[in-house]
Amino acid sequence: MVSSKRYGALTSGGKDSSYALYLALKKGVDVTKLIAIRPEREDSYMYHAYNLHLLELYSKACEIPLIMEESSGIKEEELEDLKRAILKAEVDGIITGAIASEYQASRIKRICSELGIEMLAPLWHRDEEQLIREMASAMEILVVHVAAEGLDQSWLGRRIDDAAINDLLKLRIHVAGEGGEYETLVIDAPFFKKRINTVSYTHLTLPTKRIV
């Protein structure tokens, strides 16, 4: 029996949120909205600042309406912006691509509890290497931003496949990029109706420190 509940998928256009959405759809979850937050600060604790200019295109590719809200990006204050977006989406639950960030997951869970809705986190505490290999097998994922030792401009636009994953493992960074080592864009997935074609890659940040 398919649930009549409607869900919103928190999305950045990257691999984690996209794969969480894919797994939910495979289980018959009714996803009626994509939900994204545009932070004013690139060092937001909760939200990614990359790919946001492409989310309208992402929304059209998978034919799921997008709700985008602005946020100050200020720690803790930015949670109210997410709550506002969820209320606007009029959903009974939220799908998140959180893998290991206790900070993000706990706050999304708290917001869902306050609103009386469910939280689905299909990637939570999965083995990161197994998970990213599954993602690479199911979706076409490109690196669009790098911020760790060993990741240089040659990685921009590179597809995440087994060879790329093996190279990431050799660098001894978090292979799934949970510490902000790299950011991705999904340009094709099983739930896409149209593929996104890319022309150029412009985001490059060389080694920085980021707190998760």
pTM score, two decimals? Answer: 0.90
Four-CA torsion 47, 125, 211, 114, nearest 10 degrees? 50
CA-CA distance, 71 to 37, in Å (whole number)? 6
CB 198 within 8 A of CB 157: yes
List phi, psi (to 5°) of 155. -80, -20
- 81-137: pLDDT as tens digits: 999 999 999 999 999 999 998 988 999 999 999 999 999 999 999 999 999 999 999
Task: For residue range 139-176, list pLDDT tens digits in order.
Answer: 999 999 898 888 999 999 999 999 999 999 999 889 99
Query: Under 8 Å CB-to-CB from 106, ≥6 apart: which residues?
Result: none
The confidence score (pLDDT) of residue 207 equals 39
Task: Return the pLDDT at 113.
Answer: 96
pLDDT confidence band for 198 (50 / 70 / 90):
confident
Check whether 212 has a pLDDT greater than 50: no
Residues 6+ apart with CB under 8 A from 132: 15, 160, 165, 175, 176
pLDDT at position 208 is 37
> What is the rounded average pLDDT of the residues 39-61?
79
pLDDT grade, residue 203 (50/70/90)? very low
Higher pLDDT, 138 or 38: 138
Read off the amino acid at residue 39.
Answer: P
Cβ(121)–Cβ(93) below 8 Å: no
Share of the chain above pLDDT 70, in %: 87
Q: How far is CA 117 from the centre of its chain?
A: 20
Give residue 199's pLDDT band: very low, low, confident or very high (50, 70, 90): low
